[in-house]
Amino acid sequence: MKLLPRDFFYSLSLIGLLLLISGCNSSYIEDVKRGSDYAYQPGHPELRTEIAGVISSSQQLKLLVSGSIPKNSLVFKKDEDNLQAKVSIEIEIRNTDQNKAESFNYPIKLDRTLATSGFEDDIYLFNKEFNISPGKYSVTVAATDEATGKTTIRSGEVNLPDLEEEVTNITNIRIFAKAEELNNNFFPVTTYDVSLAADSLKFEFQLFNSTSDPVTLQARLIKFRSDSSYSSPMSFVNRSSSSIKYKGIDYRDFEVIQSTQRQLSQPGNVTIEFAFENLPRGNYRFEVSPNLNDKETLYKARDFSIKSNNYPSVKSAEELAAPLIYLMPDKEYEELMAIENSDSLKAAIDRFWLSNIQNSALARNIISLYYQRVEEANKLFSNFKEGWKTDMGMVYILLGPPLYQNRSLNEIQWSYNYNASLPEYTFYFKRSKSKSDFYPFDHYILQRDNTYFQIEYRVKQLWLSGSIINSNI
């Protein structure tokens, strides 16, 4: 098994985005937010943030900094009968118009019991609120794990209008999720991905109008046509450029889930909320504008994706079963996924592993490694679908991280052997469409070839025999 090169993680970026809020008069502003990406780096605390600006009922401008840190990304040390992690959260708010900055530090202690599973992905949530004046701000949030000294930094910008001027402004749309396991309290969603465990989503934004003209806003929730299939074998034929598997997501092909409108007839400020329950998996956009069909006016939107219950972790029987598509024959996999009872499905998964790896201790290590890679693939390659379903995710799960990679404008090369004359150890991924504000995803497609048949077969046998830990591919 090859070690993971540190620069492999640093060179991977999923969705680079800027969180901002804009004021406007009558000029056209199209503003689509997509939430924070995972920016996964092994050994570093995982920090996901959302930065927003709101107007209070007393017309005070406020900066809201929301964030989440998965506890399993921190190092816990024994403290009497519990485990404890210490993390420091530092927030710097810089007024870029005046080049003045303020910093705030929040030391946090997190406890968990010794019996807590290492796979448990409890989330620490934080929400901070600051009074600010009109202007442009750069916000930096840093989380430092005191046990390792390693820091993760996220940043964003806000632009808050002067309310004493004649202005019509829509703040950026924030998403809040409610789940039974979190005591049915709404909490801010900081990423593009939303867990299916959230049984209700609430969209919140503010409309401020200091002009004498009434403002009517249209709002709608739409769902895009997108690919949700898992990656096909490396030796299959290449995908057609006209297929949804190649395109990934088609922003021109969508269905309207719900639409409505609201009016602000008097000058002032109003908070508007919309709620939706039990949305199925898929890629969505919630958007507001005076005219959604003619976006020559103020426009704001929030894109998001509904994924599995524990995403990016894998915990449930269904989540554990689905990635076995890369190790199982098609018929055996279909029979496995046809099992509806969770306990029966989990028992079938255990039988699969133990029937192949007949040493229970070794099986536990192999299972742990496999699902660790599934989770890492979700954090590294997530886009419009689960990261483990992507081509890069499949190769990463089966073969691990490459020895080295080369990157050009629209192609990434992964090499698993220092001998470049061995084509079966080199994988080429081509981007189906250039990443842009309109198409924000890194969607790389493996260039399939019959050359990969032997290595794909060999690596599957290494997994099924338990030899993947001590063998080179």
291-313 per-position pLDDT tens digit: 887 666 688 999 999 999 999 99
Residue 363 is part of which domain span?
317-469
DSSP sequence for 227-272: --PPPPPTTSPPPPTTSHHHH-EEEEEEEEEEEEEEEE-SSEEEEE
Task: Report DSSP state, residue 420.
Answer: T
Average pLDDT for 117-127: 70
- Range of lowest pLDDT (13-22, 150-159, 226-235, 238-247): 13-22
- Range 224-235 average pLDDT: 96
Total number of domains in the chain: 1
Tens digits of residue pLDDT in 318-344: 999 999 999 999 999 999 999 999 999
Question: What is the greatest pairwise CA distance in the chain?
Answer: 77
In a domain, residue 50? The reply is: no
Residue 370 belongs to a domain: yes
Cβ(90)–Cβ(113) under 8 Å? Answer: no
* Distance separating alpha carbons of residues 93 and 132, to the nearest angstrom: 10
Lowest mean pLDDT among 127-141, 262-276, 371-385: 262-276
Q: Is the pLDDT of residue 17 over 80?
A: no
User: Is residue 363 in a domain?
Assistant: yes
Provide the mean pLDDT of the chain: 87
Residue 184 pLDDT > 90:
no
Q: What gap in Å lies between CA 265 and CA 401, rounded to an integer?
A: 58
Q: Residue 324: inside a domain, yes or no?
A: yes
- Tell whether 342 is covered by a domain: yes
- In the structure, what pLDDT confidence band is assigned to residue 117 with cuts at 50, 70 and 90? very low
CA 463/CA 450 separation, integer angstroms: 21
Predicted pLDDT at 204: 94
Poorest-confidence range of 10-14, 31-35, 379-383? 10-14
pLDDT, position 168:
84
Confidence (pTM): 0.87
- Residue 173 amino acid letter: I
Using pLDDT thresholds of 50, 70 and 90, give the confidence band for residue 12: very low
Tens-digit pLDDT profile for residues 390-446: 999 999 999 999 999 999 989 999 999 988 778 899 999 999 988 887 888 999 999
Residue 193 lies in a domain: no
Answer yes or no: is 431 within a domain.
yes
What is the DSSP pairing of strand 48-55 with strand 61-70?
antiparallel
Q: How far is CA 390 from CA 177, 277, 281, in A?
A: 26, 28, 16
Is the separation of the CB atoms in 395 and 413 below 8 Å? no
Q: What is the mean pLDDT of residues 380-390?
A: 96
Over 50: is that where the pLDDT of 3 sits? no
Q: Residue 28: pLDDT above 60?
A: no
Is residue 216 in a domain?
no
Percentage above 70 pLDDT, the chain:
90
